Structure 1
């Protein structure tokens, strides 16, 4: 029997994408040949253009060409400058990804998020022998920060007509998608892989950063607006606990947050580690006393999030302080693994930090509950949904 081929498209360099990595590995382990087509930016030339992973899947990184700066400087019209600086290079990259995708001759094309869906549509449907197209929507594209909602909505509504199966992160998003397009997609949660945190060699953060041994509060994730990070730093300052706040990650808000830390004279208590490779992240998480998932309700994308970091904390037995979003609250309250606060409430956040810091009995209860909860909330259980989906797709075909 010929091995079935699946081509996945992602709009990143595929070095830190935990969800796509899990899916690629799960499908590869079950006999599918997986090719991931991703991108490589100008500052990422060190990355391999082609990479064979031990787990059996491959990645082809397509280089994103950019217009030279000296030419951009000659374009004085701001709108035209943006076209040449951003939109034209992106369009060219999409074209090159489509070329690679057509060359692969896959049985299924699997587009991760809206910015790779046009690649999937052209490769799977604009041909005589049409192929299966899966749309794996990690975000709510019609309600996201910095997105032109009207244009995005038009594009998604047009392209979704070509899709055979849509995957979203949870039931809240599935209901929203059904309301928009009349079809309820499959829910596939972004749970962490199951592992024993005791078997993980922790990175000695005290030695690495030359600091005394104190409790560590941890945030891991993107440093962007809407993540509640400026509120977190202010609340940590007001809580005035004898502990550290580690912020793992990178993003557009990093400099602003660093300046806030300096202004509050917190340099010795708040530590920015920068981005940590996904495969090393749990070695950092293991050292944490508590973790934060404090998304702000600024759009439906945030409101409906399940958040992979919640389950990464769970797998490492790190109690959480989280905001009152339905999918997050449902897990935290049902399993009793942390404290829920209202978003934008600095006083509640401050009090939650103090409570967890001082009440070690409550903290230990949360830890024990996480040990139990992770037996259900893990990728080993959840991936069966993905595998069943693909088995049915090929039965139909």
Structure 2
């Protein structure tokens, strides 16, 4: 029996809701790799059931410089004492440990950049911290041979900055999820945001927009740094009857929730290049579920929505303007009929089965 090549995949999250990494691990397993996914264990982490192996580390720190230092030190030790033919680092915050381990053990290293890390909104206004991440990036990225990212714009920026070619593997769901094409009647409309609750996602504006929207509920599915602030905003604005938080959901729970929505929001603000070039999981999850979308006027998302004509593009984040865009998207029956029809073609093109061909091309040389 042929020995399976060992691949260790690492992330800084707790593995529960990372759909992109789950799809990548599943595809690598189907290729014939023995996959081990490494992350961290939080106090409220849900149990995991995966076809591939997982390992979650208990850490002393949960955020800030101490967390990143502890995580990478622990991960480096873990990688040094585990057999691996290939290391897959997800994002810059796991790259240091993987880079050092690959040099010491002479292992193959692949880098998956889920975003333009040094341009995330959390680093805007923190020049010293940003310079540290940029310095780390500049020392490692020019020496990498196997890299991919989530969209053409980020790939082009990295190539121009470091001379390293990045391939593109977008965050597209599998074709196993069934599209729902039926309009609900005589029910409260559901406006859905799913994903991280961080600054710059347009969530404060979406909440305030609910003052001008009747007959609908805003459902916010996810967790993140500003969840507490958003919950306090809902209380302050007295919108508890119009806004509901689900907390963080598993991949399976989201798959059940999303098709029941009438409109999916992806209204990131233009806060740095990372959000400007955003092409998030949730956009493709909405599309796969047959849910019309309302997005920001940002180039990567706009290109998808305009190509397939499956939703509306908001020019403003002002709550009243946003409310008008939402109401139009919810209630214009002619547009919604057209969008629903167009989902059929979009669903044929935008599948993980098509996208993973690039991924398999990258990893096939290691088999």
TM-score, length-normalised on structure 1?
0.84
Alignment partner, residue 249 of structure 1 = 222
Tell whether the 8 Å contact from 2:172 to 2:355 is kept in structure 1 after alignment.
yes
Q: Which of 40, 52, 61 pairs up with 2:56? A: 61
Q: Does 1:262 align with 2:219?
A: no
Counterpart-to-counterpart distance in 2, 1:232 and 1:52:
34
Alignment partner, residue 99 of structure 2 = 121
Counterpart-to-counterpart distance in 2, 1:66 and 1:247:
27
Q: Which of 158, 161, 177 pairs up with 2:158? A: 177
Q: Map 1:363-382 to 2 at 5 A.
A: 363-382=336-355
Alignment partner, residue 245 of structure 2 = 272
State the Cα distance separating 1:263 from its structure 2 match. 3.1
Query: SS at 1:139's partner residue?
Result: coil
Q: Encode CA deviations 1:34-80: one digit per residue, 9 max, x unaligned.
A: 11121123x25x767xx773x2x11111221359xxxxxxxxxxxxx
Q: Map 1:329-340 to 2 at 5 A.
A: 329-340=302-313
Query: SS at 2:349's partner residue?
Result: coil
Counterpart-to-counterpart distance in 1, 2:73 and 2:88:
17
State the Cα distance separating 1:332 from its structure 2 match. 0.3
Query: What is the RMSD of the two structures over their aligned residues, measured on CA atoms?
Result: 2.3
Counterpart-to-counterpart distance in 1, 2:191 and 2:111:
36
Q: Does 1:22 align with 2:3?
A: no
Counterpart-to-counterpart distance in 2, 1:307 and 1:5:
29
Query: SS at 2:348's partner residue?
Result: coil
Q: Which has the higher contact order (CA 8 A, sep 6+)?
A: 2
1:271–1:87 distance in 2 versus 1, CA, 3 Å? closer
Q: Does 1:304 align with 2:282?
A: no
1:359–1:8 distance in 2 versus 1, CA, 3 Å? same
State the Cα distance separating 1:172 from its structure 2 match. 0.5
For these two proteins, the number of residue pairs brought into alignment is 358
Tell whether the 8 Å contact from 1:5 to 1:107 is kept in structure 2 after alignment.
yes
Counterpart-to-counterpart distance in 1, 2:49 and 2:225:
31
State the Cα distance separating 1:360 from its structure 2 match. 1.8
1:317–1:89 distance in 2 versus 1, CA, 3 Å? closer
TM-score, length-normalised on structure 2?
0.91
Alignment partner, residue 259 of structure 2 = 286
Q: Encode CA deviations 1:117-145: one digit per residue, 9 max, x unaligned.
A: 11111221123xx1211111111122112
Q: Does 1:233 align with 2:204?
A: no
Q: Encode CA deviations 1:78-117: one digit per residue, 9 max, x unaligned.
A: xxxxxxx854454333222222212222111110011111
Alignment partner, residue 152 of structure 1 = 133
Q: Map 1:335-374 to 2 at 5 A.
A: 335-374=308-347
Tell whether the 8 Å contact from 1:295 to 1:343 is kept in structure 2 after alignment.
no
Q: Encode CA deviations 1:264-309: one digit per residue, 9 max, x unaligned.
A: 3322121112111111102111111111110000111000011110
Query: SS at 1:38's partner residue?
Result: strand
Q: Does 1:194 align with 2:175?
A: yes
1:66–1:341 distance in 2 versus 1, CA, 3 Å? closer
Tell whether the 8 Å contact from 2:179 to 2:288 is kept in structure 1 after alignment.
no
